[in-house]
Chain A
Amino acid sequence: MVEPILQMKKITKKFGSVTALSEVDLAVYPGEIRGLIGENGSGKSTISSIAAGMQKANSGEMIFKNKAWAPQSMIDALDNGIGMVVQESGTIAGITVGESIFLGELDPFTNRLGWVNKKAMFQKATEAMEAIGVTSVTGDMPMSALDFQTRKLVEIAKVVRKNPSILVIDETSTALSHDGREIMYRLIKKFRDDGKAVIFISHDLDEIMEVCDTLTVLRDGNLIRTFTKEEYDANLIRTSMIGRELKGDYYRSDFKATSLDEIALEAKNLKYKEQLKDISLQLKKGEIVGIGGLAGCGMHALGKALFGALPLESGEVVTGTGKKITDPHVAMKQEIGYVSKDRDTESLSLTASIRDNIAIAGMDRFAIGGFLVTAHKESKYVKEQIENLSIKCASPNQSVSQLSGGNKQKVVFGKWIGCGSEILILDCPTRGVDIGVKQAMYQLMVQLKNEGKAILMISEELPELIGMSDRIFIMKDGEMKMEFKRSEMLSDADIIQYMI
């Protein structure tokens, strides 16, 4: 009988009056890829972050490699064998890739006088990136120059470089596009083949069933069931996750591309560095246009450009009424909303409350005379969004940072839907969101489409693009490579050849 490499016994964690984990037992074995799945707020990240030293449990016991395990910090845990790649961005923008990878570990590159040999550090960082299969990033590159996916890969390299016995990957795949995910899957398999263990957290049921050997379902801080590969049954796992059967449509049930005739937004010959090369497209009212592609294809830049947040080299973005979008302020005045892929940095003010984050974009709607903000009108407006989107929170005054990923995303949606956006630019709108919330968001998108609103959805998930879009544009190297119309026959294989 193989001994578990990590045993967590009766782990309980409370945040004030909220019980995030209730006496959860978890055993992870060498050579195992253990999946953790559950709705937002189920306790997946909490239990893995306790193992990885990010926080301490209120009670319970941990044994790692047959010894009591009580890491003092994430660095301590990583130094002693458990490393974690966190869900949100865990890097610092103002430093280089090398400094990010060797943050707090500069001693090997520092001489007696305190001088850091940056050349050697950059070289080692480049090697660390190459070791995980990334050759396009060198140690001397500034982190701020990298896109979200590449920053995530730097985080992975930083953890893997320390050769941990257990690698925890918390909802990272949604930050990665196809090629990034391939790199991650290769690493995970290598860990298993080397007799190490991986704890893999994901909301993507297909992915987690494909990647993991065993699957533990958590719900409301309780361990519901652990499935072995032989026991995998998507419907059963889904039911275990949400405690009920998922009813109604997931993606759109129709297979016909529909829209109104009126143009909502038009991009004309957009050029921006290597990311947008003469991009033109039209978005009509009542239409969902999907944009897909691999990392670096330019689709995220396109989202920003359409919202006026990129200094274009040439080209223009105009609304159906002919108004030119020159900056986000103009875009907002033209009833355009933008949901960024980098939710915590670009779409939310984490230190602010749910109320502040929702109300900020809608003040023109409820402020008396356009400037006077009364508590009554504001509360009514915010409460309406919370109720419409079923945001799980203790109070509108709760800090948004205390919400789970899915509820944070609902707050972002509430911000833009509440202020009456007629055009929504959604960059990876279901990133880090559980299956129940995803379904709710898809249904909301359908509802908005039926109301005549125009939606541009950028996504790295092909099933989502196929399931929701009237038209799909595939981008590669800053260019539009192909356009697909909604069809029942359209498959991943039809699209993927234009991405790679």
Chain B
Amino acid sequence: MKEKRNIGQMITTVLPFAALVALFFIFIGVVNMKGYRLDMYLKIAFNEGVVLAVVATGAIFIYTLGTFDISLGASTLFSATMGVMTYNKTENLGLMILVIFAVGIICSLFNSVLASVFHIPAFVTTVAMMSVLTAVAAKIITTEGGALGGIRIPSSVLKPFDSMGCKIALLVIFFAVSLFMFRFTKVGRRQKFIGGNPLCAYLTGIRYNKYTIIAFVMAGIGVGLGAFLTLVYTPSVTTTTASSIGMNIFIAIVFGGMPISGGPFSKIYAALVGGFSFMLLNDILEIVIESNAAYGITQIISAVFFLIVVYLTSMNYRTAMLPR
């Protein structure tokens, strides 16, 4: 029995990778054209992209279930805030890292438990959590940060981790674990099945709550890692830290080839491909449009790209039904 793949499927599989490669070369071209230092700009793009990619990798588990978490940015901010607070109180690096991950997981887990207890869609609880976490973090930052407008730890604390090699290693380890879970264990396979048809999954004996909780735990680990890498990059936290991650992840993973409805076509690599593609696109636009309006225009162009990608990636599923 030979597998037959149609051209549409192949295009939607290859397109995100092609886009990433194209964006990478455009980025190099634009930086060179402007006469900027390529190594510096590559480092900036990588540092931004790696945070988005790790948080998105964890988030893929949630999106696979056919739901989404809008509070990931707020959770990252809150985790980083609690990490900084812990270090400033104890000066214990190990404890700080532990708190960052624990808070990330607890915030994420709280969403799924609330959703399970009250039988409401998980994304609804994440909307509420986003407001609560942002408000609490802002309160702590403004109270503790005073005139500085932010809280910080000494830059030397996380300096040993501030290398490309270390960040790549962390990203690779987390991605490899996630990939393994997603593709080679019952957990990932059942999560994809739930995303495809939750009712059928229930009537096949799959426990929705169990796999939702696991998905949110994985997302929580991603949040913790994202918060840690954020602090490694910039050892201070302000009220705007990671503020746009929640929405950016949504756009990034769709850029990476993940269907917005989740299910069996979900792809874990969409987090990496999409995360870096999104940051490269953003950086290209910000370099090209050198004005105060750059941010707004970047957002609009990203939105247009988002719609195009959603249209292209969903084309297969819209034409797949055959009445026989």
Which chain A residues have a beta carbon within 8 Å of chain B's beta carbons? Answer: 15-17, 20, 40-41, 43, 45-46, 49, 54-55, 86-87, 307, 309, 328-333, 338, 340, 345-353, 356, 359-361, 363-364, 367, 370-374, 386, 393-399, 401-405, 415
Which size class do B's interface residues fall under? 20 to 34
Which of B122-130, B161-169, B200-208, B278-286 binds A? B200-208
Q: B2, B186, B322, B324 — which one has the most chain A CB atoms within 10 A of its CB?
A: B324
- Cα distance A259–B200 in the bound complex, in angstroms: 31
Q: Known contacts being A329-B206, A359-B189, A372-B184, is A351 close to B317, with CB within 8 Å?
A: yes
- Contact between chains at A349 and B324 (CB < 8 Å): no
Which of B31-39, B105-113, B132-140, B191-199 binds A? B191-199
Q: Cβ of B119 < 8 Å from any Cβ of A? A: no
- Cα distance A340–B201 in the bound complex, in angstroms: 12
- Cα distance A41–B203 in the bound complex, in angstroms: 27
Q: Cβ of B6 < 8 Å from any Cβ of A? A: yes
- Cα distance A403–B323 in the bound complex, in angstroms: 9
- Taking CB atoms, residues of chain A closer than 8 Å to B200 are 345-349
- Taking CB atoms, residues of chain B closer than 8 Å to A40 are 324
- Contact between chains at B264 and A332 (CB < 8 Å): no
Q: Cβ of B152 < 8 Å from any Cβ of A? A: no
Q: Which 4 A-B pairs have the closest CB atoms?
A: A332-B205, A349-B196, A349-B197, A352-B264
- Contact between chains at B205 and A331 (CB < 8 Å): yes
Query: Can you list, as one digit per residue, whether each of B133-160 has a CB less than 8 Å from chain A (1) or not (0)?
Result: 0000000000000000000000000000
| B210 shortest CB reach to chain A, Å | 9
- Taking CB atoms, residues of chain B closer than 8 Å to A351 are 196-197, 263-265, 317, 320
- Cα distance A346–B192 in the bound complex, in angstroms: 16
| A203 shortest CB reach to chain B, Å | 13
Q: Cβ of B187 < 8 Å from any Cβ of A? A: yes
- Cα distance A232–B6 in the bound complex, in angstroms: 43
Q: Cβ of B293 < 8 Å from any Cβ of A? A: no
Q: Cβ of B267 < 8 Å from any Cβ of A? A: no
Which residue on chain B has the smallest CB distance to residue A42?
B324
- Taking CB atoms, residues of chain B closer than 8 Å to A16 are 4, 6
| B261 shortest CB reach to chain A, Å | 8
Q: Known contacts being A347-B203, A395-B2, is A352 close to B323, with CB within 8 Å?
A: no
Which residue on chain B has the smallest CB distance to residue A333?
B205
| B120 shortest CB reach to chain A, Å | 16
- Contact between chains at B324 and A45 (CB < 8 Å): yes
Which residue on chain A has the smallest CB distance to residue B180?
A372
**30 contacts across the A-B interface (CB closer than 8 A):** A41-B324, A45-B324, A309-B202, A328-B204, A330-B205, A331-B205, A345-B197, A348-B197, A348-B200, A349-B263, A350-B197, A351-B196, A351-B263, A352-B192, A352-B197, A352-B263, A353-B264, A356-B196, A360-B201, A360-B204, A363-B186, A363-B190, A370-B186, A373-B185, A394-B2, A395-B1, A397-B3, A401-B320, A404-B324, A405-B324
Within 8 A of A (CB), among B221-244: none
- Cα distance A47–B315 in the bound complex, in angstroms: 24
Which chain B residues have a beta carbon within 8 Å of chain A's beta carbons? Answer: 1-4, 6, 184-187, 189-190, 192-193, 196-197, 199-207, 263-265, 317, 320-324
Q: Known contacts being A363-B189, A372-B184, is A349 close to B205, with CB within 8 Å?
A: no
- Contact between chains at A371 and B205 (CB < 8 Å): no
- Contact between chains at A46 and B323 (CB < 8 Å): yes
Extra contacts, 4 of them, besides A351-B317, A352-B192, A364-B186 (Cβ < 8 A), are A16-B4, A329-B206, A373-B184, A373-B189
- Contact between chains at A360 and B206 (CB < 8 Å): yes
- Contact between chains at B323 and A55 (CB < 8 Å): yes
| A375 shortest CB reach to chain B, Å | 9
- Taking CB atoms, residues of chain A closer than 8 Å to B193 are 349, 352, 356, 360
- Cα distance A307–B200 in the bound complex, in angstroms: 13
Which residue on chain A has the smallest CB distance to residue B321?
A401
Which residue on chain B has the smallest CB distance to residue A387?
B1
- Taking CB atoms, residues of chain A closer than 8 Å to B207 are 329
- Cα distance A15–B192 in the bound complex, in angstroms: 27
- Cα distance A361–B264 in the bound complex, in angstroms: 15
| B268 shortest CB reach to chain A, Å | 14
- Taking CB atoms, residues of chain B closer than 8 Å to A398 are 4
- Cα distance A373–B200 in the bound complex, in angstroms: 21
Q: B2, B3, B197, B320 — which one has the most chain A CB atoms within 10 A of its CB?
A: B197
- Taking CB atoms, residues of chain B closer than 8 Å to A309 are 202-203
- Cα distance A251–B190 in the bound complex, in angstroms: 37
| A389 shortest CB reach to chain B, Å | 14
- Cα distance A49–B196 in the bound complex, in angstroms: 26
- Taking CB atoms, residues of chain A closer than 8 Å to B204 are 328, 332, 360-361, 415
| A154 shortest CB reach to chain B, Å | 20
**Which of A20, A45, A86, A352 interacts with B196 by CB under 8 Å?**
A352
- Contact between chains at A394 and B4 (CB < 8 Å): yes
| B185 shortest CB reach to chain A, Å | 5
- Cα distance A76–B193 in the bound complex, in angstroms: 36
| B313 shortest CB reach to chain A, Å | 13
- Taking CB atoms, residues of chain B closer than 8 Å to A43 are 324
- Contact between chains at B4 and A17 (CB < 8 Å): yes
